[in-house]
């Protein structure tokens, strides 16, 4: 029986880790196998890039609204 996680489980795990509320059970499941590293790293990178883009856009909008160039 494979302990490989799905992309949805990887997404939930990464979001929980970003917020700091991941359960011990999920942490142990994620760390159980090297097979789980690829989806978790991939989802983590995508979410980190999206977070940076979101923050960048929010700052640009705030600067634009304030009239500064």
Segments making up each domain of the chain, as ranges: 7-66
pTM listed for this prediction: 0.75
Angle between helices 37-66 and 7-19 (to 10 degrees): 50
Cα 1 off chain centre by: 27
pLDDT of residue 58: 97
Q: Which residues of the chain have pLDDT under 70?
A: 1-2, 69
- Chain-wide mean pLDDT for the chain? 86
What's the CA gap between 68 and 36, in Å, rounded? 46
pLDDT of residue 1: 46
pLDDT of residue 67: 83
The answer to whether 49 touches 40, Cβ cutoff 8 Å, is no
């Amino acid at each position: 029986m494979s302990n490989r996680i799905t992309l949805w489980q990887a997404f939930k795990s990464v979001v929980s880790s970003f917020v700091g509320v991941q359960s011990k059970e999920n942490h142990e499941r994620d760390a159980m196998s090297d097979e789980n590293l690829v989806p978790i790293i991939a989802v983590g990178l995508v979410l980190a890039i999206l977070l940076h883009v979101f923050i960048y856009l929010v700052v640009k909008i705030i600067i634009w609204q304030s009239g500064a160039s």
